[in-house]
Structure 1
Amino acid sequence: MDLQLDGLTVVTDGRSLVSELSLDVPSGGVVGLVGPNGSGKSTALRCVYRTLRPSAGAVRIDGDDLSGLSLRRSAQLVAAMTQDGAVDLDFTVEEVVALGRAPHLRGNAALGPRERELCEAAMDRLGIRHLAARGVLSLSGGERQRVLLARALTQEPRILVLDEPTNHLDVRHQVELLSFLRGADLTVLVVLHDLNLAAAACDRIGVLSEGRLVASGAPEDVLTAGLVRDVFGVSAEVVTHPGSGDPQLLYSLTPTGG
């Protein structure tokens, strides 16, 4: 299922947060959004999972305007793991994961055997089955991240959007999560701050600066020393990973002055 940001523009209080952003995420592909803080990455994602309405342009799924779908139907197709997806009530892990089935159930219908199997499979996949009876508020930040991703998977989405999913995760779980995304057979749009992780995990990368798309393409074409200097204000040498062939950045601690 293809995802397309078609001239997406978001203006709030007279300030343009995203300007004419066009980006294609092909079915089964993993596309990363990178850019400095405040460049519009999270704003663009909010339009995809419909907590924000674009001022102009559209989000399209297989060519159809997402705004033409019911909220229930869009929640069946698109799952989101957000930065502000904290759980304030001390539900158990099992209860939080089960919330992913809400778009598919009517009213307060109880989980059936298939729903329970989906929840258990998602917890197994994220390595949190042993936490099922624990209260979410007792978990570490990294454990909560995995719970929220399990909830998203339980939705059985066709499209998955993630905003900084590696926050709070240790190195092992960062690698496992991004490896999972590459093999998940889902259409994935992910915001990442770590450019090296983005290069390793994404088929294509879009770079935002001040709300505008300034570069888009394969990681080896986009992540150049010049772009990193101009967009992020950091000096870096680009090398090739000896195993994967992915571009990797070696940063200098000397400011560029830009």
Structure 2
Amino acid sequence: MDLRLDAVSVAVDGASLVRDLSLHVARGRVVGLIGPNGSGKSTALRCVYRALRPTRGTVRIGGDDLSALTLRQSARRVAALTQQGGSDLDFTVEEVVALGRAPHKRGNEPLTGAERELCRRVMDRLDLLRLAARGVLSLSGGERQRVLVARALVQEPEVLVLDEPTNHLDIRHQVEVLSMLRDDELTVLVVLHDLNLAAAACDRIGVLHQGRIVAEGSPGEVLTAQLVRDVFGVEACVVAHPVTGSPQVLYSLVSTPEGRWT
């Protein structure tokens, strides 16, 4: 299913966090949101996984107004990896991953054999099988992040929403996680701070600045030296990757006359 945000605005305590945001994520495509801290990226995602209700506008999945669905119905259709997705309870890795099936179960209904096999396959793909019996509180930050990605994938959603999924991951696992999103042909909306990862992983990129979309298009259309300067306040050179041709942003450290670094 596709995902569509139609003129979504969010105001909290009189502050406008997102303004008239319209964005379309076509079925099976990966769309990235980039922008400076405080530009409204995470707020936009919260509207999709229903942690926030838009002040104005509509979020639609496959044409259905998300707000008209029950929480169980929307949980079956949207899975989210948030920046606050951890737990203080020392469940095992396999227990946390299995929680992804919760929207599809009732009460304490046990997993079916097919669901257990699904959990095993996803853990295997994310290099977690060897950690299955470990408590999550004993894991490194990167290992925990992979567990949370696995939990979201086990949910088998129509739409996957990810807020900084590569946090704490080493280079190998960053590449593996983002490659998996593309290989599985999921409908994905993802926030990334690394512009080069966004260029490599995303079909399209939306740039948020002060709560508004200021640019949207393919990575090659969006990631220009002028945009990086205007939106992020950083001098950069943008070149083509020698193998893939995707844009690569090379940053410059330039000292201002006041001695500050931009």
Q: Give the TM-score of the pair, scaled to structure 1.
A: 0.98
Aligned 1:95-244 pairs, distance under 5 A: 95-244=95-244
- The residue aligned with 2:39 is 39
Supply the distance in 2 between the matched residues of 1:245 and 1:115 (Cα, whole angstroms): 39
Moved more, 110-119 or 199-208: 110-119
- The residue aligned with 2:48 is 48
Unaligned runs of 5+ in 1: none
- CA RMSD between the two structures: 1.1
Supply the distance in 1 between the matched residues of 2:33 and 2:195 (Cα, whole angstroms): 10
- The residue aligned with 1:75 is 75
Q: Which amino acid in the other structure matches residue 199 of structure 1?
A: A
Supply the distance in 2 between the matched residues of 1:249 and 1:146 (Cα, whole angstroms): 26
3-state DSSP of counterpart to 2:180: helix
Supply the distance in 2 between the matched residues of 1:255 and 1:115 (Cα, whole angstroms): 56
Moved more, 115-124 or 225-234: 115-124
Supply the distance in 1 between the matched residues of 2:117 and 2:62 (Cα, whole angstroms): 29
Supply the distance in 2 between the matched residues of 1:241 and 1:255 (Cα, whole angstroms): 27
Q: Which amino acid in the other structure matches residue 138 of structure 2?
A: S
Q: CA deviation at 1:241?
A: 0.3
Supply the distance in 1 between the matched residues of 2:26 and 2:255 (Cα, whole angstroms): 37
Q: Deviations over 1:2-61 (max 9, x none)?
A: 000110100000000000000000000000000000000000000100111110001101
Q: CA deviation at 1:255?
A: 5.2
Unaligned runs of 5+ in 2: none
Q: CA deviation at 1:110?
A: 1.2
* Structure 1 segments of 4+ aligned residues over 6 angstroms from their partners: none
Supply the distance in 1 between the matched residues of 2:255 and 2:31 (Cα, whole angstroms): 29
Supply the distance in 2 between the matched residues of 1:14 and 1:168 (Cα, whole angstroms): 34
3-state DSSP of counterpart to 2:5: strand
Supply the distance in 2 between the matched residues of 1:49 and 1:243 (Cα, whole angstroms): 36
Moved more, 248-257 or 24-33: 248-257
3-state DSSP of counterpart to 1:80: strand
Q: How many residues matched?
A: 258
Supply the distance in 1 between the matched residues of 2:14 and 2:47 (Cα, whole angstroms): 18
Supply the distance in 2 between the matched residues of 1:100 and 1:69 (Cα, whole angstroms): 19
Contact 1:234 1:252 in 2 (8 A): yes
